Amino acid sequence: MIARMQATWTVLLLLGAACWVGYAAQRSWALAGGGIAVGVLVYLGVMALQFTLMQRVNAADPAPRARFAQVLRAWWAELGVALHVFCWDQPFRSRAEPDWLPTAPTGQRGVVLVHGFLCNRALWRTWFAPLRAAGHAYEAVNLEPVFGSIDDYAPTIDAAVQRVHAATGMAPVLICHSMGGLAARAWLRACAGDARVQHVVTLGTPHRGTWAGRFARAVNARQMALDGDWVGQLSGAEPAGRAALFTCWYSNCDNIVFPTSTATLPKADNRLIAGVAHVEMARRPEVLRGCLALLMSEADSAAKI
């Protein structure tokens, strides 16, 4: 569903721009160019507002505060990454590359990839080839309904865990971006998943919610309100020691999930990647390398058992 929504939005934007240029160019090319420039400036400004709010809210957070140069770099990078993800990969390439569940075990641990809010499996497109090259079976889920409760995603994750386990003979690792990490925690609660998964990696997940959640209207977005009822109940239902199952990547330039420390879990392996924006985090080579290294270490530990 999200692919159709984003494809429609992208096409309408392009058609609108073309119609404007066709109309305004009859009067003045400067007028035509000016209209396009206004649209670009609106995009730049909305993204700049996100980073400005992030930096102000982070002033009271105990995590290391980003320098201005880091914020500027993250803003610039996110402009390009967000356009590519939301206007190309997700709308038009979400089914370009299938999941890889080999019929014969490779001896490597498999992966379930779980995207976040307003995303689909194409968020992970740059991960598919490296995972397959390293022999890691993978399934990238699509979380539906797009604006439903996070609790409703547990059956989708559960089915993917079962398929990857069947293909590899080993409990998989879950790698989750943003809301996907909360969906993984909801799955652990609903499906007694602790014994069925080897590890959970979260990238920019609002474990305590996010300040930006106060403006949300969708059910799942409201559930991500900072220190809100849903995240509080989720944490309260978790057994002692579960955080040891988690590695949490977080950034002091995350323009969606802030304050910074909300993307961490007490007693988890929390890894700060400074100066990286929200969607960009899922496309950073060092994050991918770190996850591949973790998968290798988990495979080694399984071999010793």
- pLDDT in the model for residue 215: 87
The string of DSSP codes covering 70-87 is HHHHHHHHHHHHHHHIII
Q: Which of 82, 74, 75 is nearest to 45 (CA)?
A: 75
User: Are residues 121 and 94 in contact, defined by beta-carbon separation less than 8 angstroms?
Assistant: yes
CA 9/CA 6 separation, integer angstroms: 5
**Predicted confidence (pLDDT) per residue in 15-68, tens digit:** 999 998 998 888 888 888 898 999 999 999 999 999 999 999 999 999 999 999
Q: pLDDT in tens for each of the 305 residues of the chain? A: 899 999 999 999 999 999 989 988 888 888 888 989 999 999 999 999 999 999 999 999 999 999 999 999 999 999 999 999 999 999 999 999 999 999 988 899 999 999 999 999 999 999 999 999 999 999 999 999 999 999 999 999 999 999 999 999 999 999 999 999 999 999 999 998 889 999 999 999 999 999 999 888 999 999 999 999 999 999 999 999 999 999 999 999 999 999 999 999 999 999 999 999 999 999 999 999 999 999 988 765 554 33
| Residue 150 token pair | 């996070």
Question: For the chain, which domains are there?
Answer: 2-92 (no CATH), 111-304 (3.40.50.1820)
Q: What's the whole-model pTM score? A: 0.95
